[in-house]
Structure 1
Amino acid sequence: MLAVHFSGFYAWLKEPLSQRALEDVRQTEMIQQAWADSGKVYGYRKLHDDLLDQGETCSENRVARLATLAGIAAQIGYKRRPGRYTGKPAIVADNTLGRKFEVDAPDTVWVTDITYIRTHEGWSYLAVVIDLFSRRIVGWSMQSRMTTDLALQALLSAVWRRKPKTKVMIHSDQGSQFTSKEWQSFLGKHNLVASMSRRGNCHE
């Protein structure tokens, strides 16, 4: 027989995982979500930055350990790993645009998307806003991390350059950058209305 007191045994039955283990599980889920939102290219350093942005308290070594245990590693090559990267949508708009990519006037419909570029200093993320009428880029932003701020800075530059006088539809996929409360708040304050594709691709 194990030399375990009955009270300790029943406490273990009610909560078999230690507080530390439970915290590992919780933060591992956050790391997996941040990794998926990055297109599965982030390494532990940028994942650590993401957790700090969300108010977590953890070291780089801890994130590296949890990421390794979860089978998460930075993408080294150019090829994008197959799969959907958007995570669970928070605030999703209808696909109002559909496939009507021909528009009659400028500053009527903008589309936005994020891609990534490998540089000598690591991965850089590029967000662009394109006017469907002219097919020209009207706003863009590049940062070292794929965050809501990246998307917002691109959209802000489009609003600043074009200064639209009427409501503009902004079409995107359901990535976490476009379903955040910050994104929706910005749209509401700048006479923009959201449209989102259903398949994680702003061209569908």
Structure 2
Amino acid sequence: MRPRVKYTVICRHKNEYPVSVMCRFFQVSRSGYYDFVHRLGRPEKDAALAEIIAEQREHSFRTYGYRRMWLVLKKRGTHRNPKTILRIMEKYGLLAEIRRRRKWGNLGQQAHQYENLLDRRFHADRPNSKWVTDISYIHTRQGMLYLSMIRDLYDNSIAA
């Protein structure tokens, strides 16, 4: 059990039992306990920097790791050691969300494989003779959006 947890338990029960007895029981020093109590009243020294990091994290869509965050803060005039930035980001849960590349792999056997009718001839002599389709994936904060359209190659108009 971490000393911080032990100190919290001692602090909760200090009115019921003597502090020195509880410190002996938990095998922690009394000076460490009183130092912990003294720190409780003080504001967190990293809180202001953590707020700035959290703000920048939202601007970067939670993709910046500690190195890029360090560079951004440095450009803004906040000079800290990169390891300090890493420690604060770990402490407050502000590390980048790692986006893994999606593995498409083999999605199963297709029932029928169609032949290539266009054969890279993307010019049409009359309307509605050659249609092509395309799917675009749009990443947003709410999730993935899909844009699918059918185009007429004669005049590049959208058929559907």
Could you say which TM-score interval applies, normalised by the shorter chain? Answer: 0.3 to 0.5
TM-score of the aligned structures, taking structure 1 as reference length: 0.30
TM-score of the aligned structures, taking structure 2 as reference length: 0.37
Larger RCO: 1 or 2 (CA < 8 Å, sep 6+): 1
In our comparison, the structure showing a higher alpha carbon Rg is 2
Is the helix fraction higher in 1 or 2?
2
